[in-house]
């Protein structure tokens, strides 16, 4: 299998052109194997490039535990750059079919190189049942959830995939490896959840650490940064356009007046190989 390793803010992915090379293996099982950092290639996800009937192209992504999330923000920037520069879809603005609906990345080009990618991530889903989360109808804003004898105030946002945001005074004081798994698999989240701890610096800047569903702590999370931008506005904590600082770098997130969330950030090649 030929592959290209790419990364967006240190969130790293194994991309496979499945238009060229059809993969007949169990994809969840394949993802578990290739994402392994000791026995495989190493990555936070396996990303497949596929043909689409309703969009320019289709993306599927698998987590390191073999589960298939609806969307991945960092991966879709890598995906957009790859399909443009490999002449698979030679469009600056392209439509991508995902399990979270149509996503529209726009390449920011400098002498034909995609220096960054701005992605129209669509509208956030705020209704509890759409997160999905158990409980009465309505939005989930600053609500208490009990975990391991602690109580957390959570705001929940779906960007196609579920996110649970918790505001804290200092993200470096969070025992992510302990609380992350407990919240990820908390019974109120029937499809599990990604977990983001967020520290507001000012109206336009936040720090964020993420515990990803099916992956654990990663250096960055695109959909999580988008969900964080929305959660900040819902709680009256920041402007609608913010910079999210992550361990792997920065993303600009804007919840625009048309209701869509726009994410801008880098996408880089690491290496190509054969598995
Ligand atoms: C967080 C993520 N890496 C991104 O950049 O959006 C998405 C990966 C999928 C995530 N682990 C999930 O929803 O299961």
Predicted pLDDT at 212:
97
Ligand 1 site-directed mutation target among 70, 161, 248, most atoms within 8 Å of CB: 161
Distance 143 CA to ligand 1 centre (A): 23
Q: Cα(193)–Cα(131) distance, rounded to whole angstroms?
A: 9
Predicted pLDDT at 23:
86
**Closest by alpha carbon to 104, among 246, 275, 258, 271?**
258
Predicted pLDDT at 220:
96
Predicted pLDDT at 24:
81
Contact 101, 119 (CB under 8 A): no
Local structure of residue 172 (DSSP, 8 states): G
Tens-binned pLDDT, residue by residue, of the chain (275 aa): 999 999 999 999 999 999 998 888 899 999 999 999 999 999 999 999 999 999 999 999 999 999 999 999 999 999 999 999 999 999 999 999 999 999 999 999 998 888 899 999 999 999 999 999 999 999 999 999 999 899 999 999 999 999 999 999 999 999 999 999 999 999 999 999 999 999 999 999 999 999 999 999 999 999 999 999 999 999 999 999 999 999 999 999 999 999 999 999 999 999 999 99
**Closest by alpha carbon to 174, among 222, 221, 207, 133?**
207
Predicted pLDDT at 112:
83
Which residues sit with their C-beta closer than 6 Å to ligand 1?
11, 45, 63, 69, 72-74, 161, 194, 212-215, 221-224
If one counts every other C-beta atom within 10 angstroms of the C-beta of residue 209, the result is: 24
Predicted pLDDT at 25:
86
Active site residue 232: no
Active site residue 72: yes
Is the model's pTM score more than 0.85?
yes
Distance 161 CA to ligand 1 centre (A): 7
Q: Which two tokens stand for residue 169?
A: 């005074």
Ligand 1 site-directed mutation target among 8, 121, 185, 212, most atoms within 8 Å of CB: 212
Across the chain, what does the average pLDDT equal?
97
| Catalytic hit among 78, 221, 226, 232 | 221
What separation in angstroms does the CA of 19 have from each of 36, 48, 71, 104, 194? 24, 9, 20, 20, 30
Q: Cα(170)–Cα(213) distance, rounded to whole angstroms?
A: 22
Local structure of residue 173 (DSSP, 8 states): G
Predicted pLDDT at 231:
98
Predicted pLDDT at 148:
85
What separation in angstroms does the CA of 181 have from each of 107, 147, 148, 216, 223? 35, 10, 11, 8, 18
**Closest by alpha carbon to 120, among 227, 235, 264, 268?**
264
For 97-124, what is each residue's pLDDT tens digit? 999 999 999 999 998 888 899 999 999 9
Pairing type for strands 150-158 and 162-167 reads antiparallel
**Closest by alpha carbon to 179, among 143, 151, 220, 139?**
151
Write the Ramachandran bin of 42: left for phi over 0, alpha for psi from -120 to 50, otherwise beta: left
What is the full DSSP assignment across 240-260?
SEEEEEETTEEEEEEE-TTS-
């Amino acid at each position: 299998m030929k592959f290209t390793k790419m990364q967006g803010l240190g969130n790293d992915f194994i991309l496979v052109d499945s238009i060229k090379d059809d993969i007949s293996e169990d994809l969840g099982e394949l993802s578990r194997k290739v994402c392994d950092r000791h026995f495989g290639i190493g990555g936070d996800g396996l990303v497949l490039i596929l043909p689409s009937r309703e969009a320019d192209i289709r993306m599927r992504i698998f987590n390191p535990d073999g589960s298939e999330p609806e969307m991945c923000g960092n991966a879709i920037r890598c995906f957009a750059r790859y399909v443009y520069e490999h002449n698979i879809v030679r469009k600056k603005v392209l439509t991508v079919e995902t399990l979270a609906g149509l996503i529209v990345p726009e390449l920011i080009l400098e002498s034909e190189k995609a220096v960054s990618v701005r992605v129209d991530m669509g509208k956030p889903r705020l209704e509890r049942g759409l997160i999905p989360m158990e409980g009465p109808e309505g939005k989930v804003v600053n609500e208490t959830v009990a975990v391991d004898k602690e109580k957390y105030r959570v705001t929940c946002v779906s960007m196609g995939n579920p996110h649970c945001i918790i505001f804290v005074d200092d993200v470096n004081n969070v025992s992510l490896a302990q609380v992350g798994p407990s919240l990820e698999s908390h019974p109120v989240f029937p499809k599990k959840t990604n977990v983001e701890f967020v520290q507001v610096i000012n109206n336009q800047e936040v720090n964020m650490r993420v515990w990803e569903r099916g992956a654990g702590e990663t250096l960055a999370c695109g959909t999580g940064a988008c969900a964080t931008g929305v959660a900040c506005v819902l709680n009256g904590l920041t402007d609608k356009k913010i910079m999210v600082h992550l361990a792997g770098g920065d993303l600009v997130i804007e919840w625009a007046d048309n209701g869509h969330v726009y994410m801008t950030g880098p996408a880089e090649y690491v290496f190509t190989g054969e598995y």
